[in-house]
Amino acid sequence: MATTYFSKRNLHFLLHEVFKAEELTKYDYFSAHDRETFNLVIDSATYIADTLMHPYLKDVDRNQPELKNGQVTVHPKIKEYLKAMGEAGLIGAGFPFEHGGQQLPEMISSTVGFIVMAANNGMMYTGLTSGAAHLITSFGSPELSETYVPNLLAGIWQGTMALTEPQAGSSLSDVTTSATPQPDGSYKIKGQKVFISAGDHDAAENIIHLMLARIDGAPKGTKGISLFVVPKYRPDGLIDNDVTSTGVYHKMGQKGVPAMHLTMGSNDNTIGYLVGQPHQGLPYMFQMMNEARIGVGMTAAAIATAAYYAALEYAKERPQSRRLNQKNQLDAPQTPIINHPDVRRMLLFQKAVTEGALSLLLEAARLYDISEVAEGEEKENAFLLLDLLMPVAKSYPSEMGVQSVSQSLQTFGGYGFTEDFPVEQLYRDIRITPIYEGTTGIQAQDLLGRKMTMKGGKAPQLLFAEISKTIADASTHADLKPYADQLTAELKRTQEVMASLMPYAQQGDIERYLSDATLFLDLFGIVVVAWQWLKQAVVAKQALLTQNPQSDELAFYEGKIHTMKFYFHYEVPKTLGLAVRLKDPEVLTIVTEKELAL
């Protein structure tokens, strides 16, 4: 088992040196905190991760949840972990004091998510609970909050997000679960939900579903969907609420978390409680979506990080062959494989992807915080930027994370494919992240179809202005200037691509406008992460110039600049081919009358 699964040094670098998390404490809402309390929370999460999670990584994978006699049994350590997270205040880390939370910034609570997911992503329970509880505190009545939130944040009850139905995966407008008003103001719920993560298990005393359903007579499509609290047991006396566990999916990875098929109202006796106003379910859900997608991105970045450190450790220890210029020195000992350029390239790729992804996610979390607590233009701009970055902050870590873990596995050679090392599991686990909370294809449509054009394209303008600041900072250092110039050229390329696509949108041919949206997302992701790397390199450069760091610290900062260079030399050139295709007028993926043999 790998001993390291994330780098606290890198977390501190990003939180404190790059993003200056402490600056958030100037806002009233976060004023109870300082750098020290932030670090204490991180240490507390690390302790739980080290002691209650990481040691059980494989064990949780090997003992997947089973449904027997209507009851789902999960690994016994899950209960301990839920309780510890609740007691440490980590489930409610981001909640206001009034709800029993720690009122910490999303930057810190999402960092907690990163640490625990790097330790053991099969224990993905508490993020779901936080999300569900947050829906209640944000949009529900005070009574709903009082009834549900304390036990949720204590880790005694489990929260879920119950959106997907068998006939409505990515298409929420086709949700059919029904809600019939009752005289007492509650609703009877009838329908089915699938893929409900942590949707039933024995580590929690109750399961609280935040569920989308359609009130009888509601308008069609997304405008007629409402949000309900649907508990497994009704809180008044823990009476069974007729939510049946119809099945548990057996999955390729993330086996520790049951994905449930649930049936509501088999005995016409499932009660739901409306959250907020009728027909506002989707807007409510979407207001939580940024937070949920930061969570998925963090999970992906965390899994890839754990795999990277496992591969790095192996590459430093495993001797194999001799260096290529000493191939014939057969008496010489074999060299550790990290000394082979191809292995080093694979490791630098993993470092570039994982630390780049984490940086982007913390950028998103910082914008989330500002959009929550700032006012006026600052608030609005942060929100626009966050909204623009979100599709890529969810999909870059997951799509590139999949590739990164694949390279971690390859670093081990044949051993990577065996259960002797953790990478095969992480390779399976991470593959769900490009599907969770909106597939990559959906993210791409969101980015190009909505975020790039909303408010007359104001969001990309703001982003380009932010990136230009980093370019200006970098340009003051002679050795960073070539990379600043390269990023300037990439911004221009992105604008050219947009200019060539816009006419389709203006003509109303949305299908054509979006037909290669996923490639645009890829392009945009490379550029945005290049920005994150340049930003990190500027901070590292300043540290080298002003702090005279030695040994490990020197290597850390120089490693940052080196990895930035790697990213610009190896990853950024991929935009060339993407831009050629995106500007290419030939249509090949839109259905025509002519049926092709696919």
Any residues with CB less than 8 A from the CB of 420 and at least 6 apart, and which? none
- Give 78 or 343: the residue with its C-beta nearer to its own copies: 343
**Minimum CB separation from its own copies for residue 275, in Å?**
24
- Give 353 or 444: the residue with its C-beta nearer to its own copies: 444
Q: What letter represents residue 114's amino acid?
A: F
- Give 338 or 538: the residue with its C-beta nearer to its own copies: 338
**Minimum CB separation from its own copies for residue 576, in Å?**
4
User: Cα dist. 300→114, 138, 198, 503, 564 in Å?
Assistant: 9, 27, 18, 35, 21
Beta bridge partners of 248: 260
Give yes or no for a contact between 91 and 156, defined as CB atoms under 8 angstroms apart: no
Q: How far is CA 103 from the centre of its chain?
A: 21
- Give 267 or 551: the residue with its C-beta nearer to its own copies: 551
- Give 28 or 552: the residue with its C-beta nearer to its own copies: 552
CA separation for the pair 333, 254 (Å, rounded) = 40
- Give 229 or 561: the residue with its C-beta nearer to its own copies: 561
**Minimum CB separation from its own copies for residue 543, in Å?**
13
Please tell me whether residue 92 adopts helix, strand or coil conformation. coil
CA separation for the pair 412, 165 (Å, rounded) = 40
For the record, the structure tokens of 125 come out as 């329970």
Give yes or no for a contact between 272 and 88, defined as CB atoms under 8 angstroms apart: no
Reference 258, options 271, 244, 247; nearest CA is 247
Give yes or no for a contact between 60 and 68, defined as CB atoms under 8 angstroms apart: no
**Minimum CB separation from its own copies for residue 376, in Å?**
34
**Minimum CB separation from its own copies for residue 349, in Å?**
10
| Number of Cβ within a 10 Å radius of residue 414 | 7
**Minimum CB separation from its own copies for residue 304, in Å?**
15
Give yes or no for a contact between 70 and 262, defined as CB atoms under 8 angstroms apart: no
- Give 265 or 434: the residue with its C-beta nearer to its own copies: 434
- Is 372 one of the annotated active-site residues of the chain? no
**Minimum CB separation from its own copies for residue 149, in Å?**
29
Reference 207, options 153, 156, 255, 250; nearest CA is 156
**Minimum CB separation from its own copies for residue 33, in Å?**
29
Reference 270, options 231, 225, 235; nearest CA is 231
Q: Which of 372, 399, 437, 571 is catalytic?
A: 437
**Minimum CB separation from its own copies for residue 296, in Å?**
13
Dihedral-angle region of residue 543 (phi above 0 means left; psi in -120 to 50 means alpha; beta otherwise) = alpha
CA separation for the pair 461, 454 (Å, rounded) = 11
- Give 149 or 162: the residue with its C-beta nearer to its own copies: 162
- Give 27 or 417: the residue with its C-beta nearer to its own copies: 417
Q: Considering all CA atoms of the chain, what is the largest pairwise distance in Å, rounded to the nearest integer?
A: 87
Residue 581: exposure state from Cβ atoms within 10 A (0-12, 13-18, ≥19): middle
**Minimum CB separation from its own copies for residue 497, in Å?**
13
Rg (CA), the chain: 24
Q: What letter represents residue 315's amino acid?
A: A
**Minimum CB separation from its own copies for residue 409, in Å?**
7
- Give 206 or 299: the residue with its C-beta nearer to its own copies: 299
CA separation for the pair 129, 140 (Å, rounded) = 15
For the record, the structure tokens of 444 come out as 């791409």
Any residues with CB less than 8 A from the CB of 212 and at least 6 apart, and which? 162, 163, 172, 175, 177, 225, 226, 227, 228, 281, 282, 285
- Give 153 or 523: the residue with its C-beta nearer to its own copies: 523
CA separation for the pair 204, 197 (Å, rounded) = 13
Beta bridge partners of 18: none
CA separation for the pair 567, 353 (Å, rounded) = 8
Inter-axis angle of helices 376-395 and 281-317, nearest 10: 50
CA separation for the pair 149, 137 (Å, rounded) = 8
In eight-state DSSP terms, residue 88 is T
Q: Which residues are catalytic?
A: 437
